[in-house]
Amino acid sequence: MKKNFLVIGLGEFGKSVAKTLYKNKATVMAIDSNEELIKQALNEGILDEAVILDATDEIALKNVVKDDFDMAFVSVGDNIQASILITLHLKELGIDHIICKAVNHTQGKVLEKIGATQVVFPEESMGEKIAYSMLHPTIIEYFKFSEDYFIYEIKIPKSYVNKSLMELNLRHKYEINILAVKHSDGKMNVTPDPNVRLSQDDLLIVLARENTIGKIM
């Protein structure tokens, strides 16, 4: 069964969320008071339905939004008053899972207190990633897996070329677990043979603590 998602606010973040959900076969409805943003999203074919509406208007919102959405995204983070009102309205409409965009942690705390299931800080996350990429240029991508561990996609150091995973023995030396090897042709080997030697353009997908990943770069 397809999942139903509601996206309120079609700025860069909201549009990206809607596009990703739609691409992955979810049903997506979007709301924005900006007619031009609605038209752009519909022309790009990234939505099932879109409504031009001021989502802070409780009565208007109730007329178009039902409680059958699996999740709602509130992407109007620059306007804290609007974010609060919309989140309150969605809770009253019976939507249990609400993810809100916020621009700072004070706004985030308020949104959590009034019912947001999760608060995200896209600008902060992007800033962290840019800074991290400057400090560690061999890291292609990373995300937090748990409180202590991150998953990293990294370029292999020159010293690793033509060496096997068994020779490198990263788990024993640094407690770094290799999850997969990504080859230059885009193919991913999720069960890499420990005896196969690494090529210059290979990428490693690893699970590691933040304080250990620097040991292999």
Mean pLDDT, residues 42-53 taken together: 95
Rounded Cα–Cα distance for residues 89 and 60 (Å):
11
Q: Can you give the pLDDT at residue 79?
A: 85
Q: Largest Cα–Cα distance in the chain? A: 66
Rounded Cα–Cα distance for residues 205 and 181 (Å):
6
Rounded Cα–Cα distance for residues 49 and 61 (Å):
15
Alpha helices in the chain (DSSP H): 12-23, 35-44, 58-64, 80-92, 105-113, 122-135, 165-168, 170-174, 210-213
Contact present, 116 and 103 (Cβ < 8 Å):
no
Contact present, 101 and 79 (Cβ < 8 Å):
no
Q: What percent of the chain has pLDDT over 70?
A: 100
Q: Can you give the pLDDT at residue 89?
A: 96
The mean of the pLDDT values for the chain is 91
Q: Which domains does the chain have, with CATH numbers?
A: 4-121 (3.40.50.720), 136-216 (3.30.70.1450)
The token pair that represents 23 in the structure block: 């691409």
Q: Can you give the pLDDT at residue 77?
A: 66
Please state the pTM of the whole predicted model.
Answer: 0.69
pLDDT digits (tens, 9 = 90+) for 122-174: 888 777 777 777 778 888 888 888 888 999 999 999 999 999 999 999 999 99
Rounded Cα–Cα distance for residues 114 and 117 (Å):
9
Query: Do the bridges between strand 4-8 and strand 71-74 make them parallel or antiparallel, or are there none, so unpaired?
Result: parallel
Contact present, 32 and 8 (Cβ < 8 Å):
yes
